[in-house]
Amino acid sequence: MPENRITQLVRKDKKLLIAYYMPEFPVVGATLPVLEALEESGADIVELGMPYSDPIGDGPVIQEAAHTAIRNGMTIKHLLELVRRARQGEGCRRINVPILLMGYCNPVIAYGIDAFLHDAVAAGVDGLLIPDFPPEEAADFLQKAKSCGLTVVFLVSPVTPPERIELIDSLSTDFSYCLAVNGTTGTAKLSEAASENVVDEYLKRVRQHTRKKFVVGFGIKDKSRVHSMWALADGAVVGTALLQHIGMASTPEESARLAGEFWRALR
């Protein structure tokens, strides 16, 4: 089985800049052009949301983006078809950037776990992040995903105790995902939610209890914050700010232009 793109990327000595994007937001047809723009503008990984009607870990921007995506016809089946088209270069330039799917367990269970894993691999997905799937209860899912060659990412929060950080580090395939704040996505700026010293100490604690790499997300919205996170972690994830920047676009082409403009500014 060939090594997936995320595993290859994480082996490199570079700081990662990861984009979170909700497919078919803000308009029908935006997904493939936005993927092209993000890859061309330097996204190291694209995290694609699997829209769900009750996204408990997400703030209002991503919740509304999910609802818009659902209204625009987005389903897991359609998302996997878009990933397949991106990988094959159907309707766009061939997309090679690593793709990580982020979503909640109910739609995956409804799809059928075995069928979902099979179809995700067949489409060209590289990894999965299911935030409401506790690592203590994910042994069967984790084994199946890894046997398919998929990277699996688990979450660390500022209140995760050291022994659980070590468990999450051991179970995450290539890297863990640290929530910079206790809260939903996009609802608190880091400078307001906690002092920089608190975040620094938290990420230093994570570093002491991990062997693999870890990235940081939630509340990161500009170049200066990306660089401050790079000083402490192995990567930064930007999602809400990207969605806000493209949210008023009225065509797929405008969505892609705005996405590329925003991402180049982060770099």
Amino acid in the structure at residue 115: A
Beta-carbon-side half-sphere exposure of residue 129 (alpha carbons within 13 Å) = 27
Catalytic residue among 36, 58, 126, 174: 58
Collapsing DSSP states into helix, strand and coil, what is residue 59?
Answer: coil
The answer to whether 254 touches 267, Cβ cutoff 8 Å, is: no
Residue in the block written with tokens 């909700």: 22
> Which among 179, 176, 200 is positioned nearest to 188, based on CA atoms?
179
What dihedral angle (degrees, nearest 10) is formed by the CA atoms of 7, 203, 58, 10? -10
Contacts of 119 (CB under 8 A, 6+ apart): 77, 80, 111
Beta-carbon-side half-sphere exposure of residue 234 (alpha carbons within 13 Å) = 20
Q: Which two tokens stand for residue 218?
A: 């939630």
Task: Indicate if 58 belongs to the active site.
Answer: yes
Catalytic residue among 39, 47, 126, 174: 47
Contacts of 109 (CB under 8 A, 6+ apart): none
Which residues make beta-bridge pairs with 213? Answer: 175
Task: Indicate if 47 belongs to the active site.
Answer: yes
The Cα–Cα gap between 235 and 217 comes to 9
Residues with active-site annotation: 47, 58
